[in-house]
Each structure stands twice: as C-alpha cells, then as structure tokens.
Amino acid sequence: MLAIQVIRERTDEVRGALADRHSDAPLDAILTADERRRALLIEVEGMRKERNDASKAIGAAKDPAERQQLIEAQRAVATNLDAREGELREVETDLDALLLQMPNIPHANVPIGGEPDAVIVLEGDGRDGSQRRVDPPVPVHSVATPAIEADRKPHWEIGVDAGYIDFERGAKVSGAPFYFLRGDGARLQRALIAWMLDVHREQGYEEIYPPFLVREAALVGTGQLPKFANTMFRAEGTDLWLIPTAEVPVTNMYRDEIMDVATLPLHHVAYTACFRHEQFSAGRDVRGIKRGYQFDKVEMVQFTEEDDSWDALERLLGHAVEIVAALGLRYRVIRLASADLTFASAMTYDIEVWAPGAQEWLEVSSVSNFLDFQARRANLRYRGADGRVRHLHTLNGSGVALPRTLAALLETHALEDGTVELPAPLRPYLGGQTALQPPK
C-alpha cells in the first residue's frame, strides 16, 4: 500500500507511475476521498473540543438554569458529532478500500513499457561456468534466439518415453493440465526441492514449513487481494484460500508485530505447493509441464531495514542465480518493464533458463523488492536504534520454481539414448546415481 502522504504530496509522480504500469487504479477518487476525510477530521476535532469545553463549563456552572442551558447545547453538539464521526468512519473505510487498489511505484531504473521493453542484465551457462553482466542492459527483443539443436527432444517426449511423466492418468484423475510424476521423475523432483532448501540454508536462510491455506487478510497483506481473487482457489464456505506462493504465509508471519532492528535482516526459505487458477490457451505455449494449476516452488523471503533493501535485492538475485548455474543450465536475467511488474513490486528480475528441446526460454524465478508496500498492508514494522518505529521492507524470490526447472534439466542433460545425466549437486540426493536410465 502506498502511504496517503506519498499520493497527496507526489501526485504527478504517482499518476505517471500508473500510466507506466498501464493501470486504471482510482487515483482521482483517492484524492477526493482524502480531501473529504481531512475536512471531516478538522470538523470532528473542532466539535470534540467544543464538547469538552462544554463539559467543563457544565461542571463549573452554579446557576441551575445556566447549567440546564449548557446541557441542552451539549446534546445538540453531541448529536452533530455522532453524525460527523459516522460519516468520517465511512469515508475512511472507502479510502482504505481505494488505497488497496493502488499498485506500487516502479523504481527509476525499471524500463518503461511492456514485455518487449524488458532488458537483459546478466547471462550465463552453468555447463561451462561462464557468466557475464550485460552492461549496458540490452532489450530482450534485440537478442537472437539460441541456435536450434536438432537432436534435442522436448521434455514431454523425454518424460513420457522414460515413464517420468504421466499426462494421461493425471488428466483422468484431475483433468488437464494435471499430470503424475512417476519413478525417477518423482525422485528427481524431490531431490531438487531438498537440494535447493539445503543450498539456501547454507546461504543463511532459516527453513520454514508454512501452511498451504491462509486467511483472506494474509492475501491482502501481500497484494494478491482484492485485485486478483479470480486467479486463486478458495475453500468454499471458509475464509481460507490455497496459497499461490509461499511468499504469502511467510511474509505474514510477522504481521502486526514490531521487530527489533537487531534481529534484521531476516531470511526465510520455504518449500510449498502453489495453486493458481490461471487461464490457459491451447497449443505449444502450455504443452508439457510448463504451466498448471498446481506446482512446487522453493521461495526465499527477506525482511530488511528501509535503507538496505536495494542491496538486498542484488544479493537475493545472486542466491537464485546460484541454483540455475549449479544445475548446468543456460540462463539469463531480465529486468522487467513497468507494465509487467507485479502489483506490489517496485522492481523485478526474472530468471529464465533455456529449454533446448522446446526451444524456448522458461521463467523459473522472479526476484522482487516491494519496499514498504506489503509492510503497510500487513502492518510489518521494526523499531530502529533511535527508537523510531518504521515499516519493514520485504523482498522475495523463487529459489527456484518447478516444474519448468525440471523440464529444462531433462532437455539440457538428456543424451541420444535417453539417458539423463544428473548435475553433480543432485547425485547425493538420488542415492549416488550419476544419471537417470531410460527403461530397456
């Protein structure tokens, strides 16, 4: 949530940010409601003072007639005050609801525009350990697609041929686009999750196992509600929603608390299943296991002081990049343009990995800085060394999401005979296996 002072005092900047985001958020309605609220507040405070002064005068009055006259006057003030206080509460409720519809302001370094205007800032290949920062960043649309490797199969062929993925039975049980992972496919998924959690623990994160169902207030806190209710699943007849990401329960762990600055920064990592009611079109874009209503993800969440969040964003990005590099995947980091930022984000980096069989880049991580936007909605605060209470800054990043990582891994490391070589870090998690062998 944007502070009303920011909207009031930096109106032109906020209006420009909405235009950059292609957002129709109700800025003018907010300004009108805020002006009305402030006028009512002045009126109410004046009437409260008048009431207090009248009470003192009644207590001091010695003449019964004068006293009765003062009492009658106070009753009229009290009646008017009750009406104005009710109107003030109503305006404040309306203003709060309008503020929940306002997205965050993009950072000055965020490119203006939509998907074609995103820029590549880093690229690398885990197979040979190469990595280079792209400086200055280059637009995504100006970069050529990697050369086609004719001998590479897409993961949906590799997985079905080896029995790792069962689309037919998944659809029978739950409908499209659900599937079963079986045998070594299921073991590989489990190994990836366990390994990623261990890597992030070594990076300094505390492991969390959160609830997969949260109350509505938690989703309001992180910015999914009220705007994106149609993209989530709700347990009918309850106030519980299936989480779209571990970001929601983990960020809300400290809602309505005041943390001590000595405890910051806080770094948490969590594995969860994620549930998103997305709309899918038919065709190649949704073929295989790239998109679904349910998927697994390891999520990193950070809570920092207000002056540290931009440095923290770069460190968080590095923690996620370490994962895809160690898996021997070709990758690139993209700074999203303004219209593609999530509702709560001030800046987001996407990490994409190359899937040589499907011949496309797959997003496996989004790393974002929300500044104090989520903290204002969830009431996340800390007390600084000077004793002043401030809002925390929150960040999160996938570390990383499956199943696209699994898809890219199968396509990158599959050999002509169907064998899938395992990246060295995963081998201890699969009983020392060096490769997945296709059925004979």
Give all strands of the β-sheet with 360-369 in edge-to-edge order.
130-139, 119-125, 330-335, 347-355, 360-369, 393-401, 294-304, 266-275, 206-208
- Candidates 410, 423, 409, 357; CA nearest to 146 is 357
Q: Which of 39, 67, 99 is the last residue of a domain?
A: 99
Considering its fold, how many domains does the chain have in total?
2
pLDDT at 351: 98
* Whole-number pLDDT of residue 421: 97
Residues in the chain predicted with pLDDT less than 70, given as ranges, are 54, 57, 73, 280-285
Asked if residue 34 lies in contact with residue 8, where contact means CB atoms within 8 angstroms, the answer is yes
One domain, residues 237 and 131: yes
Partners of 258 in beta bridges? 381
**Residue whose structure tokens are 């004979």:** 440
Closest among 346, 322, 324 to 336, alpha carbons compared: 346
**304 inside domain:** yes
For 52-75, how does the pLDDT look when each residue is reduced to its tens digit (9 = 90+)? Answer: 776 776 777 777 777 777 777 677
Q: How far apart are CA 269 and CA 224, in angstroms?
A: 20
Structural domain harbouring 319: 115-436
Is the peptide bond between 400 and the residue preceding it cis, with omega within 30 degrees of 0? yes
The answer as to whether 67 is a domain residue is yes
The amino acid present at 146, given as its one-letter code, is P
| 110 domain residue, yes or no | no
Q: Map 6-44 to HEC letters.
A: HHHHCHHHHHHHHHHHCCCCCHHHHHHHHHHHHHHHHHH
- Give the CA-trace dihedral at 147, 150, 154, 160, to 10 degrees: -170
> In the prediction, which pLDDT does 285 show?
62
Q: What is the pTM of this model?
A: 0.92
Which amino acid would we find at residue 20?
D
105 neighbors 71 (Cβ within 8 angstroms) = no
The last residue of a domain, from among 64, 99, 134? 99
pLDDT value at position 279? 74
Q: What is the pLDDT of residue 150?
A: 85
Same domain? For 133 and 274 the reply is yes
Give the pLDDT of residue 284: 56
CATH code at 95?
A: 1.10.287.40
Which residue reads 């984000």 in tokens? 345
How confident is the model at residue 54, as a pLDDT? Answer: 66
Residue 412: the pLDDT is 97
pLDDT tens digits, 280-294: 655 556 789 998 999
- The pLDDT, as a whole number, for residue 39 is 95
Residue 403: per-residue pLDDT: 94
Question: What was the pLDDT predicted at 74?
Answer: 73
Is the domain of 337 the same as that of 374? yes
pLDDT at 210: 98
Query: Residue for token digits 């994409």?
Result: 352
Q: Residue 274 maps to which CATH number?
A: 3.30.930.10
| End-of-domain residue from the set 54, 70, 99 | 99
Residue 45 belongs to a domain: yes
The β-bridge relationship of strands 360-369 and 347-355 is: antiparallel
